[in-house]
Structure 1
Amino acid sequence: MQNISNVKAVTPVIPSQDGQYLMLSITPKTDSNNPKTEKLVNNLRHLKIHGQKVLVTGSTAMNIDISEKLNSVLPKFLLIIVALAFVLLVFALRSLIIPLIAVGGFVLSIIATLGAITFTIQEGHFATLLHLPGKTAVLNFLPVITIGILFGLAMDYEVFLVRQIHEEYLKKPSDITSAVKIGLEKVGSAVIAAALIMITVFASFAFTDEIIIQSMGLALAFGVFADAFIVRLLLVPSLIILCGKANWNLPKWLKLK
């Protein structure tokens, strides 16, 4: 134990009733969310005494285990959501390209959101401006919550916008650019208003003094901003114009009779 740093106090060793285990409590110098405390737990878990592995429990150790488990299944969770969304959007929008753009944009929004959370909460940038306590660990189930909520909002905006563009396109198939412009004029303001309401509500969570609520609010506010304003109102219409008539090309075997 002499080589283990960040230790404030160590209690005397207590044997178990059967004498097979020895238990002691270690108090770190830093709080449970501090990266140094996480490093201490990992160091203890790699420690061996008389050839026996050290088992570590406690709030920090439990958070580490939960985070590792969630991180291991997060890619599968995202893949299932994206795959199911793609299939549903193909039949809802009668297109292959537009659903591909929709789910691809959603993945970009999630990557940007998680990057922003790491930059602000975990690394502590703009902590004073965002009313954050400084460098702290990211909530282990935050990515799952963020993906679930943002997915619903993103697909809602997507269907609302693309349906209107498609209606305008059917009126004049030779001019996809005009269809996109008119579609944005008719529903763009509604998407902007809805997004601003959500951003305002989520951003207000940052003014609390609870880091869990702050991190959730910040993640959702940034996610809605990135997805609504950058992906749905900028990226999606631009790619629809570039793809032209190919947007609504659908293989015959996928068309309903």
Structure 2
Amino acid sequence: MTPIYLIQDRLVPKEEVRVSPDDRGYYFGDGIYEVFRVYGGKLFEAEAHFKRLERTAAAVRIDLPAASSELKKQLEQLIAANSLIEGTVYLQITRGTTPRAHAFPAQAEPVLMAYTTEVKRPVHMMQQGIAVVTMEDIRWLRCDLKTLNLLPNTLAKQHALDRGADDVVLHRSGLVTECSASNVMIVKQGAVITHPADNLILHGITRAVALRLARELGIPVAETPFTLDDLRQADEAFVTGTTIEVTPVISVDGLPVATGNPGPVTRRLQQAFEQAIASVIPQ
């Protein structure tokens, strides 16, 4: 089956997709994006994703080509066209196509592109946990904006893989921020602790779901910075993300987190997340 892409407001076969060399996303990374999870053929937490898309678009001064309600309908049509049951939808909007110049173009129509990918849930990682390494976070100071400028994140991810780890935990002078493409949390004395949703981290949708579920379960939550020492001495640690869901961290820089096994609070959150997924899948 030929993959179908959404280009502007049209569904077209992948082979018809063209990227102009004058697209500002191509030569400046001048664009924004969202990655939506799909369970049972349905978008998960769509409203939250679109709110974040709107926030990022406003901050970088890109006009969305349509209202979020219309974009949602288009993504649902894209999902149906590709018969996607479980996976992701990638949505990207660049500032437009115009001759290269740093200043915003006086007239440029935003370029929208979206496609689907079949992605299975990472059951093994969620059950067994992952290993992480740490490194200094030297990215820019607007990490809360979901833009196309992801070279620092890809370098961080490769840094981890080169060292036999699954991901990297970033920190600024010892204060933990996030991972290469997910948020990180620790558990200490039964409480979940994670960096506040300020400009230093991406405001993860799964992060928000996990914190909401923790509060519903009566688990104390503290959105406050914690240190590398706190991470290494935590009772539990886990990461949250659109594709990784709620996944335990069992070692940091080669040393085990507590017993080196997924902890009970993480397991409770995983179970609650399973129920949240089940609630959106058509019966």
TM range (shorter): under 0.3
Higher helix share: 1
TM-score of the two chains, using structure 2 as the length reference: 0.23
Bigger share in strand = 2
TM-score, structure 1 as length reference: 0.24
Answer with 1 or 2: which has the greater Rg. Answer: 1
